[in-house]
Amino acid sequence: AEKYTLEDFTMGELTFSIIKPDAVANNKIGDILKMISDSGLKIKATKMIHMSKTQAEGFYAVHKERPFFGELVEFMISGPCVVSVLEGDNAIKRYRDLMGATNPADAVEGTIRKAFGAGIEANACHGSDGPDTAKVEVSYFFSNLELVN
Ligand code: GDP
Ligand code: MG
């Protein structure tokens, strides 16, 4: 059988998004997906998950030496998340801009974190920070066949 790669399904750039447990608990899934859609990014795939500790530790492995790693993992498994794959020209940077600064106190008006973030940890959303991480993160949660053409 033919093996498909991500590139076979992809027109623009892909990025990976998480609506974090705080925003899900605060009933902001719809508001955040609307902000994403209104920005012109296309939602290629989306689903609700509740990460295990092992999954969250694996996802944030790049941060394992940082002092807040344990707290971050506990936060990310504290409730369900919505994970999505977004597509568009320059999608990685556009979604980072739409999210706003890591600390919502520093995020500008019109960003997701300004609107819905509570603090440096419970900051409503995650977005890939570059092409290599985007690729790893998309495939951490989605198979190629889950990405709509
Ligand atoms: P991001 O790329 O903007 O999400 O920021 P980072 O990659 O630097 O950090 C990953 C995530 O860890 C952030 O989105 C926050 O949820 C959390 N985080 C970052 N800095 C801190 C911190 O100083 N304390 C705590 N508790 N969490 C943090
Ligand atoms: Mg990051």
Over the stretch 10-61, which tens digit does the pLDDT of each residue have?
679 999 999 999 999 999 999 999 999 999 999 999 999 999 999 999 999 9
50 assigned to active site: no
pLDDT for 147 beyond 90: no
Could you tell me the pLDDT band of residue 148, with boundaries at 50, 70 and 90?
A: confident
pLDDT value for 7: 66
Residue 148: helix, strand or coil by DSSP?
Answer: coil
* CA 1 to ligand 2 centroid distance, Å: 37
Binding positions for ATP = 20, 68, 96, 102, 113, 123
d(CA 39, CA 98): 8
> Mind giving me the DSSP string for 122-140?
S-SEEE--SHHHHHHHHHH
Could you tell me the pLDDT band of residue 9, with boundaries at 50, 70 and 90?
A: low
Active-site annotation holder among 14, 125, 126, 134: 126
> Mind giving me the DSSP string for 50-89?
---HHHHHHHTGGGTTSTTHHHHHHHHTSS-EEEEEEEET
Query: Is the four-CA dihedral 121, 55, 22, 139 of positive or negative sign?
Result: positive
Q: Which atom of ligand 1 is nearest to the CA of 20?
A: 16
Burial of 112 (0-12, 13-18, 19+ CB in 10 A): buried
pLDDT value for 25: 98
* CA 3 to ligand 2 centroid distance, Å: 31
